[in-house]
Structures are given as C-alpha cells and as structure tokens.
C-alpha cells in the first residue's frame, strides 16, 4: 500500500493534521532556536509563553487524530448492523485498521511538535548567565 492510499484510509481527519503539522512543525524548530539564542528577560519570557501555547497546539493535533479514530470506530460499528455474522469480524478488523490510521498520523505529527515546544519552554526558563567582570 502506498502513502497516498494510507493517507486516504485515514479519512477527512488527516487534512487538518497535515495542515497543522506543516504550520506548527517549522514553528517548533524556530521556537527552540529562539529560546536558545534570545537573551534573558522579556524576549525569552515571550518565547517561553508562545512555546507553552505550542505544546497545547501539538497535543491538539494528536487529539484530532484520536477523534478521527473514535469517529471511524463508531462508523464501522454502525455499518456492521446489517452485515451477516460470518463476514462481520473480517470487515470489523479491516475497519479498525483504517480507523487507527488517523490516530497514528496525529500522534506521529503532534507529539514531536509538543516535545520540541517543551524543549523551547525549558530553554526559555533556564537561568540568565550573569556577566562577571
């Protein structure tokens, strides 16, 4: 199965995950770099605050994938009501595989973003080195 077919299996929930990942992924790297190079004070507090928001956004991306799985699972269960019992389990197994695609993608995109933003928060909160003369 190709990447395109795998993406299609995930359903409509894959598109917001992809869009947010393309937006938040580069921003998470910028946040880490900014937190590492911005001198202490207000600038670092701003970077830390934005990175804290980024953690929530990254976890939200993962949550979108989990919502897609819940919706997919309930769709599979609803579709199986009129299916004969001898083929029901095979269809349910395939449906569950497809339902978990959005969770896999959401967690794979959202957790690295949240992790990078957490690193940015830690870097922004590090003590300011004082210049000794």
Instruction: Write the pLDDT tens digit of every residue in 29-52.
Output: 999 999 999 888 888 889 999 999
- Biggest distance spanned by C-alpha atoms of the chain: 83
DSSP label at residue 11: G
pLDDT number for residue 131: 59
Give the integer Cα–Cα distance in Å for 14 and 8: 8
Please say whether the beta carbons of 17 and 106 come within 8 A. yes
Please say whether the beta carbons of 54 and 31 come within 8 A. yes
pLDDT tier, 85 (very low <50, low <70, confident <90, very high otherwise)? confident
Please say whether the beta carbons of 115 and 43 come within 8 A. no
Greater model confidence, 49 or 128? 49
Q: Is 37 exposed, middle or buried (0-12, 13-18, 19+ CB in 10 A)?
A: exposed
pLDDT number for residue 42: 86
Domain chopping of the chain, boundaries: 10-124
């Amino acid at each position: 199965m190709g990447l395109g077919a795998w993406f299609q299996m995930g359903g409509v929930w894959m598109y917001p995950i992809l869009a947010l990942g393309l937006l938040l992924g580069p921003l998470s790297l910028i946040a880490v770099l900014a937190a590492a190079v911005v001198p202490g004070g207000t600038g670092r507090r701003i970077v830390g605050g934005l990175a804290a928001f980024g953690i929530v956004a990254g976890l939200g991306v993962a949550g979108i994938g989990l919502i897609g799985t819940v919706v997919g699972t309930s769709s599979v269960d609803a579709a199986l009501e009129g299916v004969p019992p001898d083929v029901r389990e095979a269809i349910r197994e395939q449906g569950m595989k497809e339902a978990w695609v959005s969770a896999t993608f959401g967690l794979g995109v959202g957790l690295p973003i949240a992790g990078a933003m957490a690193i940015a928060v830690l870097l922004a909160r590090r003590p300011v080195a004082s210049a000794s003369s």
